[in-house]
Structure 1
Amino acid sequence: MINSSRSLRCYLKATSGSPLIEFTSSAANSNDSGDGGGATVFTFLPISAFEMLAEELSEMFKQELLLKRLLVVELLSVTFQKHELFTKLSWAEDLYHGEADDLSTCSVYSKETAKPLLPKLNGCRSDSAYLESDKHPSNDILQVYLTTWLAEVNIDTYRVEEIFATVGEEMRTSLA
């Protein structure tokens, strides 16, 4: 989504003495903001505002993906504890073949540590103490896991609706 929003940029191509104006997708001048030389593409907001909105939405969904992945690891560990072959399920292990590549595509995998980024709740720090599961969670903890799964705690639904309404107004369409 962020890459798509950045592809909307339109830079003026430097031409010498030609009556025609040419455009390009890459900036030749560092002062060019990519708005087509001031051409009004959208009614109220510049393209950079749409990029920030796309980044905000992407960050919400990335944090939710990391939290859901942690919950899957926790729930799988409860399931596998009943089997004799179970030792310990770790947050850093792939849950399926090629998951690291998929997580890298979504920018939720750290290439420096070769592990997924740590999950967190909005406004909270990540805590590595909860990233390995070898315990027997109580029914209350399982209920919290399931409630967290259903609640989408890292998605600010009012903000998402506000962003969609803003973008829809600019595009003169409804994004429902």
Structure 2
Amino acid sequence: MLFNLSEAWAQSAESRTAEGQIEIKPLQVGHRVPDEFWTKEHLFLINGDTVRKTLEEHRGKILVLDFWFTGCTKCLVHQKEINYFKEKYPEDLAVIMVNSKRTRDDHEKLIRYIQGGVFRNLQLPNLISIIEDEYLDQMFSPAAYPNYFWINDQNIFQLQTFRNLLDQSYVAPFIDEKL
């Protein structure tokens, strides 16, 4: 089930520019991510604490940005499978959850969500996510949730999916079953 949050940004480009906010041009598949993508600091929620850090440590790996929000059960159900692949290929793959301001899931709401036991009930160890994000949301413009944006090891935005492809039991519909 996909959740559509098509209300885009409520402010116009003109009003954002007038307020000194930089308008970020959305990337298209095949585009290289800009250098500032790796060096820009983001607010991470890690086990209930917040820390500011960049994505620099993931440069040179396949990086999947996993856009989610608290009202999306599918966004969390797939985390167990995603964690399997993150643990199996730690040198080659990174998956970063991203929760944008557009979802209205602020820090306090996320803390209540964690304390409510959702992660424990899904047998997930913890929540590590970029939170209250605007930069990545503007750059990739997720149209529904979950939404996965794949950046290859050459810094190219390679693929956008609405389904978790990091799933051991998933067979892509275009693969011949006889192989």
Higher helix content, 1 or 2: 1
Greater fraction strand: 2
Does TM, scored on the shorter chain, surpass 0.5? no
Q: What TM-score bracket applies, with the shorter chain setting the length?
A: under 0.3
TM superposition score normalised by structure 2: 0.22
More relative contact order, 1 or 2 (CA 8 Å, 6+ apart): 2
Instruction: Return the TM-score normalized by structure 1.
Output: 0.22
